[in-house]
């Protein structure tokens, strides 16, 4: 993936910091967008694209950690690099434990910032590929009818066709037909692959049996 397909978001309420990072990274060929607040960033940025966020921990309004939590809750593939003052280092370290790529202490050397962003962008490529795969798998899951989804859940438990037929109050041949359709639509060949897909995509359990 080329740099032009990626983006770097800079979220900092200090205009001088934003501009410094903007000029530094645009000179390296990265598309850069600036935001003065976490609220504006979350409302306007393309959170589902490939790239990274250079995020100040101390922001007016939402804090950097709150913005980071919102990104995680949305399932965004964007990789986060925190900017922290000396007194916020422990917070930045904690954030990396929660899944942030890393942190940089202000003021940061230009060379260190460039190198960190380059590495973060490599990480972003992998994160975006994983995100795209999950999105595609979710779309495939949605091609299943409610009954096929019910059968898929039963298949996942390892239940034989006869047992599935009893649980769903349908005949065994109908179960066999649904099983074949589940594997075909999802592009799978066995129960192990089905279990992995449902686990990876975090398919929510069916609260109750649907109709047909």
Q: What are the structural domains of the chain? A: 3-134 (3.40.50.2300), 143-201 (1.10.10.10)
60-90 tens-digit pLDDT: 889 999 999 999 999 899 999 998 876 677 7
Q: Mind listing the pLDDT tens digit for each residue in 138-153?
A: 899 999 999 999 999 9
According to DSSP, the residues that pair with 32 across neighbouring strands are: 8
Write the Ramachandran bin of 35: left for phi over 0, alpha for psi from -120 to 50, otherwise beta. beta
Between CA 32 and CA 50 the distance in angstroms is 12
Helix pair 172-186, 146-156: axis angle to 10 deg: 90
Q: What is the pLDDT of residue 152?
A: 94
Which residues on adjacent β-strands are paired with residue 104?
A: 83
Task: Give the DSSP H or E segment for 34.
Answer: strand 32-35
pTM of the model: 0.76
pLDDT above 80: residue 196: yes
pLDDT digits (tens, 9 = 90+) for 110-142: 999 999 999 999 999 999 999 998 889 989 999
pLDDT of residue 90: 79
């Amino acid at each position: 993936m080329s740099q032009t397909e990626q983006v770097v978001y800079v979220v900092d309420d200090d205009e001088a910091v934003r501009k410094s990072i903007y000029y530094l990274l645009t000179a390296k060929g990265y598309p850069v967008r600036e935001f003065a607040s976490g609220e504006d960033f979350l409302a306007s940025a393309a959170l589902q694209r490939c790239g990274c966020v250079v995020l100040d921990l101390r922001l007016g309004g939402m804090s950097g950690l709150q913005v980071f939590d919102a990104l995680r809750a949305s399932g965004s593939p964007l990789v986060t690099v925190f900017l922290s003052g000396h007194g916020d280092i422990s917070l930045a370290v904690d954030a990396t434990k929660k899944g942030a790529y890393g942190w940089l202490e202000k003021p940061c050397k230009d060379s260190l910032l460039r190198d960190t962003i380059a590495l973060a962008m490599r990480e972003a490529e992998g994160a975006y590929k994983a995100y795209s795969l999950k999105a595609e798998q979710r779309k495939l899951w949605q091609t299943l009818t409610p009954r096929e989804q019910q059968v898929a859940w039963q298949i996942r438990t390892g239940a034989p066709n006869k047992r599935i037929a009893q649980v769903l109050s349908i005949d065994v041949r109908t179960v066999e037909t649904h099983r074949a359709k589940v594997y075909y639509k999802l592009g799978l060949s066995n129960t192990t692959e089905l279990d992995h897909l449902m686990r990876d995509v975090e398919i929510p359990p069916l609260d109750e049996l649907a109709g047909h």
